[in-house]
């Protein structure tokens, strides 16, 4: 059993209004040093795999098939344990 994190973010050239709203809200809450925020999705996937390499490969396929929209989003996969 492996646990894998998949982070899905809008590609850098795609506008991220949620992130921009956070940047605009932070100074009013006393946080003046933030210059940029991008918001994406985070998935924690538990799956049966023979080893870490297989778990990573399966999670990449799942991310490309279902979790991310490759037209507008990039994703990254990392093993948690």
- Applying CB under 8 A, which residues contact a second copy? 1, 5, 7-9, 19, 22, 25-26, 29, 31, 33-49, 58, 61-62, 65-67
What separation in angstroms does the CA of 12 have from each of 16, 26, 34, 43, 66? 9, 21, 18, 20, 20
CB of 80 to a second copy, least distance (A): 11
Length of the chain (residues): 81
CB of 30 to a second copy, least distance (A): 8
CB of 70 to a second copy, least distance (A): 15
23, 36 Cβ separation under 8 angstroms? yes
């Amino acid at each position: 059993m492996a646990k894998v994190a998949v982070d899905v973010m809008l590609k850098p050239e795609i506008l991220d209004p949620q992130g921009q709203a956070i940047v605009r809200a932070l100074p009013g809450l006393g946080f003046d040093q933030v210059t940029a925020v991008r918001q994406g999705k985070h998935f924690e996937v538990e799956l049966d795999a023979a080893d870490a390499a297989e778990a990573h490969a399966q999670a990449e396929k799942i991310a490309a098939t279902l979790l991310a929209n490759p037209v507008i989003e990039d994703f990254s996969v990392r093993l948690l344990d």
